[in-house]
Chain A
Amino acid sequence: MRPQLIAALSVGSRVPSHFSGRVHSVYRRACNIELDDGTLITVLGCEQTNLPHGIRCELPEREVFQVWMRPGQAVAADASLFRAFPGEFALDLRGAALWRCRLRGFAMDSQAKASPRALSAAQRVLRQCTTGGGFVPLLLGDAARGSTLERAMQRRLREALPALSRASCALDCTAAARALEQLAGLGPGLTPSGDDFIVGYLAALHARSSRETLLRSFLAGLAGAVTRLAAAANLISRQFMLNAVEGEFSEALAQVVLAAGAFDERRLGDSAVRLVRVGHSSGADSLAGLLFGLCLPVASTPHHRVWMPVAT
């Protein structure tokens, strides 16, 4: 039977030109594919923002992937066509644009005077728009009246974040890796809050490392540790963490970084709002990680204001 073709709009730079694999998990407007080499790609509805491992397509607004795709279904693609077997779902890849995360080579001047004011716009969004769940309410509020789990998580954050801050400021890869180990896989969500936070933190380091040369070797030193943490994560978290090691991030996260780098308060606020709407708490947790990383006073940036609302 001839499949119905849906046009792909954009293809992320980490999607291979030829691949085969199986459907891993299916949601209303996103479908994850586990490739034969163990990596992940995600097929997304047109209203979603790009991912380095994503293919956005013109799935009509009211349609859902669950109708077309099922876990375990085989898929294969070449440069022109993506197909699921058995079934009728196919993507025409021929007209799709290549999407590349623009953070590669981006040089953010985190020491600029305008930086703190711009970042405060994103911090405001985090305070105002976060709906609950994940790290952010624990970072911003008082968990004393929360559940025993929330209190335990807040205790963990009170240890791990200052340790990560100290290690990052001292450019101590070993200590930073230990702190990241405490965060990886921690908290609620399909991609646990800790994983999202780490991705945001790495986005900040990448954005700053073009200007702050000391951060480059620190980042390179962390790559191995993050790759090891990614190997223990579930497939979806793993792909985001491996992308982050390579300096590749979601469009939603990258737009916040680019707006922060341009000190454009309004754009930063808007993009931060879009980011916190990703998932239940994933976007907010990665924004928290990003702000944490952007505000770190590393050795070459003595005037930074620390953004660390957790009582230490």
Chain B
Amino acid sequence: MPTAFKVVPREYRDSVSLMQLSALVSKLPGVEEASAVMATPNNLALLSEAGFDVSAAGATAADLLIVVRGTQSALAGAIEEALKNLARQAPSAQAAESSDDKPRSVQMALADAGTANMVLISTPGEYAAAEALKALRLGLNVMLFSDNVSEEQELRLKRVASQRDLIVMGPDCGTAIINGVPLAFANVVKRGPIGVVGASGTGLQEVTVLVDWLGSGVSQAIGTGGRDLQAMIGGISTSQALRHLAADTRTGVIVLVSKPPAAEVAERILNQARQAGKPVVVNFLGTDPEKISGGGVHGVRTLEDAARAAVDIAAGELPRHSYSDVPVQTVRLPKLRSGQRYIRGTYSGGTFCYEAVLLLDEQLDNVYSNTPVRMQGRLEDPRRSHHHTLIDLGDGAFTRGRPHPMIDFRLRNERIIREAQDPETAVILLDVVLGYGANADPAAELVPTVRRAREIAAHGKRNIAFVGHVCGTPGDPQGLDLQTDALVQAGVVLTQSNAQAVRLAASMVLGRASLPPSPR
């Protein structure tokens, strides 16, 4: 039976992880035997003796070797699955999780982990509210990853939680970092004095990632669910989160991020923030920062500004409302043909898309999106671009029946190719989200498409600029440097934040001296 192998250089997974990886790949269809061992001379000899074709020239005892024996058609997929698993796997010993005695209810889980005070619920939406209610009655805080929970159910859950001094994060809460543990779609960030509350998943990710990059750290990142600041829910979870962070001695500065809240809810939350007893940086996207500032609340314009202001405050420096003039390096403008006029954004993060629409709308006419800031900007058909078009591919219209675009890049790749075929496309904007939950190797998904798009443009004697930013940290399982290097080599201009990428794209189509991306 044929065999295949893959050397993963300088990979130091603990023994339990290696054993789990071997077991997982061994169980794949068409695989007869698989193993993940360190590539020592004795192991290479042993594998050879066991009939594996391992011509791993140059491999050393510090490298990990994955070997598979099986049907020819299964080998490549098995190696690929092993690599994906390595990227996904928390690099830690988690043998206990493989136990056969997995709890089958929240109550059973609580009996096993008596000190737990929080549950993460990810079930189909129709069952999620009932499970959340059971958990609240058991005295547990709830992170409700599930969507398709009605507003009425959400309100009921949050009221029950509030009466018990608990919090419901969600529904559709995709991101949180609790006591240093990333939950769902979240990044590996340093711990530190900045607590973040967000009604926006990628907004939370962007702020926590930038706080990490700026050298500070995160005490807690609490998601509230996208509807929490709407009038019907009334900001119940945001209020709870603010109260918790105000009382948390490890939190020195609080950041609050959201799409525009209902006016009366915003007023109530801002009043609470002013009484928090510690500085609160607020980014209500699209709200004039100066109008909400005062009394300990510091308003900012963008997610990047929120991170920078919080880090400045934590360091004892005066914050600013905007950091759009942060100087760094210049980027050579692409040579565009006269008909190339438009920016086309393909986003996996809803908040990134919304922020991009806001920023572009200030500088350009005719900005359209499926998450518009004004009704006139709504696309009639989200599948077709016209003028400047920014698409949130995580919108329900695109994700029904398929994985989120942070995981599955097919839809985005198809869209990029279509935009490249349009002779009016000048710049393609994109976000790349790393961290737990996201695709194991986004660059590998995107780079072939970027190259193909460039070929299409070149065939039409055009040149398309790709501008994006990677929302990730060096600690993320995908490897920040690996991802950025691959994208840069494919010709993607990367900036440090979404806001910087948008401004750079705008400057390109306006033909101005380029705005600068920060060097990583």
On A, residues with C-beta under 8 Å from B are 1, 4, 24-28, 32, 62-64, 66-68, 70, 72, 86-89, 133, 147-149, 151-153, 155-156, 182-192, 194, 232-237, 279-282
Contact = CB atoms under 8 A, between A and B. Distances in A.
A236 B215 CA distance: 29
Given A184-B42, A279-B15, 13 more contacts: A27-B93, A28-B92, A66-B475, A68-B190, A68-B191, A149-B35, A152-B50, A156-B49, A191-B15, A280-B14, A280-B18, A280-B93, A280-B95
A24 B15 contact: no
Contacts of A25: 12, 91
Contact of B180 (A64, A70, A72, A232): A64
A28 B181 CA distance: 11
A217 B179 CA distance: 54
Chain B residues touching A, majority SS = loop
Given A232-B41, A233-B40, A148 B189 contact: no
B216 interface: yes
A166 B216 CA distance: 59
A67 B182 CA distance: 9
B251 interface: no
Which 3 pairs across A and B sit closest by C-beta, in order of nearness? A185-B40, A280-B15, A25-B12
The number of chain B residues touching the other chain, given as a range, is 35 or more
A28 B93 contact: yes
Contacts of A282: 15
A87 B474 CA distance: 12
Interface string B62-101: 1000000100000000000000000000111101000000
Interface in B29-62: 33, 35-38, 40-43, 46-47, 49-52, 60-62
A187 B50 contact: no
B170 interface: no
Given A25-B12, A187-B43, A234-B61, A148 B38 contact: no
B46 A156 contact: yes
B50 A151 contact: yes
Nearest to A133: B19
Contacts of B43: 185-187, 192
18 contacts: A26-B91, A27-B93, A28-B93, A66-B91, A87-B190, A87-B215, A89-B190, A148-B33, A151-B50, A152-B46, A152-B47, A156-B49, A183-B42, A185-B41, A185-B61, A188-B15, A190-B12, A234-B12
A185 B38 contact: yes
Contacts of A67: 180, 188-191, 475
Interface in B289-326: 314-315
B14 A279 contact: yes
B215 to A, nearest CB: 5
Contact of B33 (A147, A192, A232): A147
Nearest to A285: B15
B179 A149 contact: no
Contact of A70 (B35, B69, B90, B475): B475
A183 B40 CA distance: 11
A156 B43 CA distance: 11
A287 to B, nearest CB: 15
Contacts of A191: 15
A298 B364 CA distance: 87
A149 B61 contact: no
B189 A189 contact: no
A27 B14 contact: yes
Which of A28, A70, A149 has the largest number of chain B CB atoms within 10 A? A149
A88 B12 CA distance: 24
Given A66-B188, A188-B18, A1 B216 contact: yes
B171 interface: no
Nearest to B41: A185
B42 A185 contact: yes
Which of A24, A25, A66, A191 has the largest number of chain B CB atoms within 10 A? A66
Contacts of A155: 49
A66 B187 CA distance: 11
B19 A192 contact: no
Contacts of B52: 149
Contact of B38 (A87, A147, A190): A190
B67 to A, nearest CB: 8
A113 B464 CA distance: 84
